[in-house]
Amino acid sequence: MFDGTRVLRIILTICFLVVFLSPGYSYSKAQQNIFDVYILGLKLGRLNYAVELKDNLYSAAGNLRSTGIFSVVSKYKFEASSQGKVENGLFKPKYYSEKSDTGRRKEEKTLLYSRSSIELKTKKIPKPYWQDPNEQLDTLDPMSAIIFILKDQKRANICAQDFAMFDGIRRVKIKFTHGEETSDGQLNCHGIYTRMGGYSAKELKDGRNFPFNVKYEYQNEFYKVISFQIETNRGRAKFVRR
């Protein structure tokens, strides 16, 4: 039987597509972005997010929730927020939080950053395979990773992202490997999402490396993301900009 909630949750975790809702954050402060989410060819969700960059500081907010047929059988909602600063073009997170509600289980998690440590706040009981937060200072939180990947790009920087992400428990590597132009003038960037640590043996049996691609369209001297998708052994997830 197709377990929509489980597949959606697994794919969203794999996709590093956590999304964002910050206390007091207003979408009017920044441009809102909306993507329809397709899993196994069915439109099952919607991603909304907005990013504000000002005076070398950034903040982001948004949400991902089930829609259509999937929302009838299972109410799924994922919310998160991130704040930090920009140094020499690199994101330095200061705060990250996420909330999820699958209809059967609710979870919350917060990361607080300092120069020498990352403090994880969660009600979950730590597992032996979890990654030590204080050894993850070279990583981006999931929200900052989203900004880094989905922001408009200059030609010189496109298809070149290579970084690690940490969600408080798991470490992954996200690397763009190559790109090619399409016949209609768009640009496809390909990459690999690799699970590095913090996963159970059962989770690792589901796979370690997952290919993805991001499609850009040239608009007003920048390349803008119009879609992205990732392949998993649970199926394909595709996000298409409205």
One digit per residue, pLDDT tens: the chain, 242 residues?
334 444 444 444 444 333 333 333 333 445 678 899 888 888 888 888 888 888 899 998 878 888 765 554 556 788 889 999 998 888 999 999 999 887 777 889 999 999 999 999 999 999 999 999 999 999 999 888 887 888 888 877 789 889 999 999 999 999 999 999 988 889 999 999 999 999 999 999 888 999 999 999 998 888 999 998 988 777 788 899 98
Residues 6+ apart with CB under 8 A from 109: 97, 98, 120, 121, 122, 124, 167, 168
Radius of gyration in angstroms for the set of CA atoms belonging to the chain, rounded to a whole number = 17
Sequence-ordered strand ranges (E) for the chain: 32-39, 42-54, 57-66, 77-87, 90-101, 106-113, 118-122, 162-166, 171-181, 187-197, 209-219, 222-232, 235-241
Closest by CA to 228, choosing from 237, 220, 154, is 237
3 state DSSP class of 220: coil
Torsion of CA 148, 58, 66, 236, to 10 degrees: 0
CA distance 9 to 103: 12
**Nearest CA-CA partner of 168 in 111, 127, 123, 117:** 111
Counting the structural domains of the chain, the total is 1
Find the domain containing 34 and state its range.
4-241
- What is the rounded CA–CA span in Å between residue 141 and residue 164? 9
State how far the alpha carbon of 14 is from the alpha carbons of 17, 134, 193, 209, 231, in Å: 8, 23, 8, 10, 9
